[in-house]
């Protein structure tokens, strides 16, 4: 039984179209050159395709279209405040929303002192996650000057404090869509590493044969593939559930499962990929590091992991068992 039964082939057409855009406008060299800055022209070109409209409540498109787009962006390791923009589109309105949708304004969604894309942002949102997993969000403003910081993924972040303004609506739903977008992106980025490592294993020869013929190489790659299949299926299933049922308890559980599965699968792809590539896997100009650094950064910098695990426990009916 497929986890993503009901996934429409039109979603695949959307992903293929966006993949073509990425291939033309965002080759690997563009991803490498984006370290430390936001390529504004490239970002505006992406926003101009209208893909972020799927994150706006009430739009004709929805979570499935959003996930299909994120799969293409993740495979390309597309740079930019993708998940912050998805969240912002779910809570902002009026002129601010229009500027975000067009790529004219950059959104930063902060939790604690770390402010993603802070040096580039014009719109700041501060979030809090309760122990129950409920999300609250406020339109905010920086207090004083933000301190720019370097990140593992090469994204320009900042550290500082934000002053809360008005509380924003629909933060729970916006966070759910952002989690789905992030999960789809990570799973696809992991598949990108898997494909690159598999090709290297097919062509790199040692002891008179391709290294992919050795079980110590082939079996870990097969394991990564199976983890990716599961993660992709869970993400797509959660997207279909959110579109059909809204954010009920079952959907919350499905999104949490998708998030945790995508994180695990993408990190396993990083680990296995670097073992297959050897030293060239960690060189700046190599075939993998510009992808793996973004995966490691986005997983390690994520918040709400504990809430996601507790949501999964509740969804599986394992809460409150006797020791």
Instruction: Convert the pLDDT of each residue in 137-170 to its tens digit.
Output: 999 999 999 999 999 999 999 999 999 999 999 9
> Can you give the residue range of the structural domain that contains 130?
9-171
Count of alpha carbons within 13 Å of 127, Cβ hemisphere only? 26
Ranges of H-type helices in the chain? 9-25, 28-33, 40-47, 63-76, 82-91, 94-102, 171-203, 215-245, 249-277, 289-300, 305-315
319 has pLDDT over 80: no
Q: Would you place residue 304 in the very low, low, confident or very high pLDDT band (cuts 50, 70, 90)?
A: confident
Tokens (6 digits) for 173: 């739903």
Q: Do residue 62 and residue 102 come from a single domain?
A: yes
Q: Do residue 17 and residue 158 come from a single domain?
A: yes
What is the C-alpha separation between 100 and 85, in angstroms, rounded? 7
Domain end point (choices 143, 171, 199): 171
131 has pLDDT over 90: no
Q: Do residue 190 and residue 214 come from a single domain?
A: yes
CA 101 vs CA 13, 42, 46, 121, 258: distances in Å:
22, 14, 10, 14, 26
Q: Do residue 61 and residue 111 come from a single domain?
A: yes
In angstroms, how far apart are the furthest CA atoms of the chain? 67
Cβ-Cβ contacts under 8 Å for 166 (sequence gap 6 or more)? 138, 139
Domain end point (choices 171, 188, 219): 171
Q: What is the pLDDT of residue 322?
A: 46
> How far is C-alpha 295 from the chain's CA centre?
8
pLDDT per residue as tens digits for the range 28-87: 999 999 999 999 999 999 999 999 999 998 876 789 999 999 999 999 999 999 999 999
Q: Would you place residue 3 in the very low, low, confident or very high pLDDT band (cuts 50, 70, 90)?
A: low
CATH number at residue 180: 1.20.140.10
- Asked if 84 contacts 109 with a C-beta cutoff of 8 angstroms, the reply is yes
CATH number at residue 18: 1.10.540.10
Q: Do residue 242 and residue 182 come from a single domain?
A: yes
Q: Do residue 117 and residue 195 come from a single domain?
A: no
End-to-end CA distance of the chain: 34
Count of alpha carbons within 13 Å of 207, Cβ hemisphere only? 4
Asked if residue 2 belongs to a domain, the reply is: no
Average pLDDT score over residue span 204-229: 93
Domain count, the chain: 2
pTM of the model: 0.94
CA 118 vs CA 181, 238, 244, 275: distances in Å:
20, 30, 35, 34
What is the C-alpha separation between 22 and 79, in angstroms, rounded? 11
Q: Parallel, antiparallel, or unpaired for β 114-115 and 157-167? A: antiparallel
Q: Do residue 18 and residue 37 come from a single domain?
A: yes
Taking alpha carbons only, the member of 173, 164, 14 closest to residue 88 is 173
Domain end point (choices 137, 171, 205): 171
């Amino acid at each position: 039984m497929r986890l993503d039964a009901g996934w429409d082939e039109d979603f695949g057409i959307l992903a293929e179209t966006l993949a073509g855009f990425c291939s033309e406008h965002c080759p690997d060299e563009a991803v490498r050159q984006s370290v430390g800055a936001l390529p504004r022209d490239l970002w505006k070109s992406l926003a101009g395709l209208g893909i972020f409209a799927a994150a706006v409540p009430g739009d004709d498109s929805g979570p499935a279209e959003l996930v299909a787009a994120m799969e293409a962006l993740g495979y390309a390791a597309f740079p930019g405040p993708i998940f912050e923009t998805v969240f912002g589109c779910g809570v902002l309105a009026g002129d601010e929303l229009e500027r975000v949708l067009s790529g004219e304004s950059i959104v930063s969604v902060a939790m604690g002192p770390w402010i993603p894309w802070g040096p580039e942002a014009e719109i700041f949102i501060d979030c809090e996650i309760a122990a129950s997993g409920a999300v609250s969000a406020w339109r905010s403003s920086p207090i004083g000057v933000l301190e720019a910081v370097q990140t593992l993924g090469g994204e320009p972040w900042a550290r500082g404090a934000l002053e809360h303004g008005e509380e924003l609506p629909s933060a729970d739903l916006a966070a759910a869509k952002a989690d789905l977008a992030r999960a789809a992106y990570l799973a696809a980025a992991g598949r990108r590493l898997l494909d690159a490592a598999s090709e290297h294993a097919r062509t790199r020869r040692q002891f008179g044969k391709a290294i992919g013929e050795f079980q110590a190489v082939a079996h870990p790659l097969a394991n990564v593939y199976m983890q990716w299949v599961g993660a992709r299926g869970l993400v797509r299933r959660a997207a279909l559930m959110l579109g059909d049922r809204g954010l009920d308890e079952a959907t919350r559980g499905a999104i949490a499962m998708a998030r945790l599965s995508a994180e695990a699968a993408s990190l396993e792809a990083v680990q296995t990929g670097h073992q297959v590539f050897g030293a060239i896997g960690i060189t700046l100009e190599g075939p993998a590091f510009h992808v793996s650094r973004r995966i490691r950064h986005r997983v390690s910098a994520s918040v709400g992991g504990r809430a996601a695990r507790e949501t999964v426990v509740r969804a599986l009916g394992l809460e409150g068992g006797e020791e």
